[in-house]
């Protein structure tokens, strides 16, 4: 368990010295943050036999070795298949694929955390589930979320719907369910809304037919008809609902540019909507996997809690510690009591 606690303790310790004002951040702090992300990426990318789907991903590499380049677009998730194909061609093993995937995931994580007023706290919030469980266990969806976070940064900071759609479509080449994020772009547009709605709808339809349509029957059978359940889905949904509720109820306490706030209010509403969906759906796994794309709201809201509810520096530090305790408890409970945590324990380094 030590490596998992190490990648949590580094941002947790740095949070204690974070002031929540990005304008006062020094170059040395930015370098330290980049090194922490890089260290996280190394542990994610160079893990060995970690995660419940480890053997399945070995199968991807084996199959890719026999594919021709022209077969990649129709062989599954083309982005992930391409990485496996390249690794096989250069004589690499699964560590090369995982390291490349970890790099893409951590790129999105780095840019997304830097967008928050307390990036160290945002990173600490991300570690227990997004990093440890998703990035180390669901490699393809981890990359999809990382690339989607690049899109969310572009949408929140620049209002660039085009960049958001680009990153989400690229994410969908690693895990096709990412296309379900595309409608968010139309909902957050503050100018030329009808035109934006039309071209985003066209982009969503094109992405659906190119990337997802051929898998719908498999997804329906795998998740719905088989009533496939995911243990702990209600807990993970609640982890999104808590910050979503805070943002919706206390929206005035979370100062953001109007465009950015509109985005996260929409994401918060979607997170709340997953509760009745989870109750009514015959498959908790379907809802659980789609809820993974909503995890960034945890980082956005919880990293802002100290500034939102603390008037003095002392109170803000207390609230930051409270968020760290909450996140640490989430990691402790998952490692010790989750039904599938055995697949993550012990952590093994590929070259040890």
pLDDT, tens digit, for every residue of 216-254? 444 444 444 334 445 567 778 889 999 999 999 999 999
Distance of CA 301 to the CA centre of its chain: 15
Q: Which residues of the chain have pLDDT under 50?
A: 194-195, 199, 209, 213, 216-229
pTM: 0.88
pLDDT, tens digit, for every residue of 90-114? 888 899 999 999 999 999 999 999 9
DSSP secondary structure string for all residues of 147-159: HHHHHHHIIIII-
Token pair, residue 269, equals 């509403």
Quick one: CA torsion of 279, 281, 284, 290, rounded to 10 degrees?
Answer: -110
pLDDT, tens digit, for every residue of 32-61? 899 999 999 999 999 999 988 888 888 888
């Amino acid at each position: 368990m030590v490596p998992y606690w190490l990648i949590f303790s580094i941002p947790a310790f740095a949070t204690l010295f974070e002031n929540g004002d990005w304008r006062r951040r020094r170059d040395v702090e930015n370098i330290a943050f980049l090194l922490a992300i890089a260290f996280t990426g190394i542990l994610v990318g160079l893990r060995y036999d970690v995660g419940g789907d480890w053997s399945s991903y070995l199968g991807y590499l084996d199959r890719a070795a026999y594919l021709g380049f022209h077969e990649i677009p129709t062989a599954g998730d083309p982005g992930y298949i391409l990485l496996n194909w390249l690794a096989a061609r250069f004589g690499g093993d699964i560590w090369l694929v995982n390291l490349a995937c970890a790099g893409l995931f951590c790129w999105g994580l780095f840019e997304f955390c830097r967008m928050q007023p307390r990036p160290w706290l945002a990173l600490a919030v991300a570690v227990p589930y997004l990093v440890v469980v998703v990035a180390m266990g669901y490699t393809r969806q981890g990359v999809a979320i990382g690339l989607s976070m690049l899109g969310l940064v572009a949408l929140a900071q620049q209002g660039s719907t085009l960049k958001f759609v680009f990153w989400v479509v690229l994410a969908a080449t690693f895990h096709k369910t990412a296309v379900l994020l595309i409608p968010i772009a139309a909902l957050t547009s503050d100018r030329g809304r009808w035109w934006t709605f039309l071209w985003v709808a066209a982009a969503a339809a094109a992405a659906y037919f190119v990337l997802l349509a051929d898998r719908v029957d498999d997804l329906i059978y795998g998740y719905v008809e088989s009533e496939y359940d995911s243990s702990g889905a209600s807990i993970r949904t609640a982890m999104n609902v808590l910050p979503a509720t805070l943002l919706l109820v206390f929206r005035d306490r979370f100062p953001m540019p109007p465009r950015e706030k509109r985005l996260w209010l929409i994401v918060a509403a979607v997170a709340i909507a997953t509760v009745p969906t989870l109750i009514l759906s015959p498959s908790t796994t379907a809802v659980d996997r789609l809820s993974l794309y909503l995890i960034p709201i945890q980082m956005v809201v919880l990293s802002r809690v100290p500034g939102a509810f603390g008037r003095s520096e002392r109170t803000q530090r207390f609230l930051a510690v409270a968020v760290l305790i909450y996140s640490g408890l989430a990691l402790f409970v998952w490692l010790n009591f989750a039904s599938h945590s055995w697949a993550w324990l012990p952590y093994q380094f590929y070259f040890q």
